[in-house]
C-alpha cells in the first residue's frame, strides 16, 4: 500500500477501496466483522409522558397551565432543573422507572443535578 493511500485511509476518505481499509486493519492486528443488528433491543422511552401518571413531575410542571403531556426530553429537563424539590423517598415505583429510563436513554446515563 502506498503512503498516499495509507494517508487517505487515516483521513477516512470515502474514495479509498474497502480492500485498502481491510489491509490497514490487518496490518495493525484488527479485523472487521459484519453482524446482524440485535432485534431484541427495544426502547423503553415513552413517546409522550403524561403528567397524570407521575405525581412528582406534575408538581414540577405547575408553571405550565393546561399542559397534560410532555415530550421525554421536556420531562428529563424538568426533573434535572428541579431535582432539589423532589422527595426521592416518596417517588412511586413507576416514576422511579421513568426517571431511570429518561436518564439512560436521553441523559447518557447521568442525571445532571
The tens digit of pLDDT for each residue in 13-65 reads 888 998 998 999 899 998 888 877 655 555 788 899 999 999 999 999 999 99
| Per-residue pLDDT at 38 | 57
| Per-residue pLDDT at 39 | 52
Count of the separate structural domains present in the chain: 2
- The answer to whether residue 80 scores a pLDDT higher than 90 is yes
Mean pLDDT of the chain: 89
| Per-residue pLDDT at 101 | 93
| 98 vs 111: CA distance, rounded Å | 12
Q: Is 13 within the bounds of a domain?
A: yes
Residue with cell 439512560: 104
pTM, entire model:
0.62
Residues 59, 99 within the same domain? yes
Q: Is 21 within the bounds of a domain?
A: yes
| Per-residue pLDDT at 43 | 73
Rg (CA), the chain: 23
Residue with cell 431535582: 83
SS3 assignment, position 105:
helix
Residues 62, 29 within the same domain? no
| Per-residue pLDDT at 42 | 59
- The answer to whether residue 69 scores a pLDDT higher than 70 is yes
Q: What angle do CA 104, 105, 108 make, to 5 degrees?
A: 60
Residues 100, 69 within the same domain? yes
Its domain, for residue 101, covers 49-106
Q: Is 39 within the bounds of a domain?
A: no
Q: Is 63 within the bounds of a domain?
A: yes
Please give the DSSP secondary-structure letter assigned to residue 70. E
Residues 55, 98 within the same domain? yes
Where does residue 89 rank: exposed (0-12), middle (13-18), buried (19+ CB within 10 A)?
exposed
Quick count: other Cβ atoms within 10 Å of Cβ 102?
A: 22
Q: Is 113 within the bounds of a domain?
A: no
| 110 vs 42: CA distance, rounded Å | 20
Q: Is 60 within the bounds of a domain?
A: yes
Residues 26, 56 within the same domain? no
Amino acid at each position: 500500500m502506498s503512503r498516499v493511500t495509507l494517508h487517505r485511509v487515516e483521513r477516512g476518505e470515502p474514495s479509498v477501496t474497502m480492500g485498502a481499509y481491510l489491509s490497514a486493519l490487518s496490518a495493525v492486528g484488527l479485523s472487521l466483522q459484519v453482524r446482524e443488528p440485535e432485534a431484541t433491543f427495544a426502547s423503553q422511552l415513552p413517546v409522550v409522558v403524561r403528567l397524570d401518571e407521575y405525581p412528582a413531575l406534575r408538581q414540577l410542571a405547575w408553571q405550565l397551565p393546561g399542559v397534560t403531556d410532555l415530550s421525554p426530553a421536556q420531562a428529563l429537563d424538568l426533573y434535572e432543573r428541579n431535582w432539589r424539590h423532589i422527595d426521592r423517598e416518596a417517588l412511586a415505583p413507576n416514576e422511579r422507572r421513568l426517571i431511570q429510563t429518561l436518564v439512560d436513554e436521553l441523559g447518557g446515563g447521568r442525571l445532571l443535578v
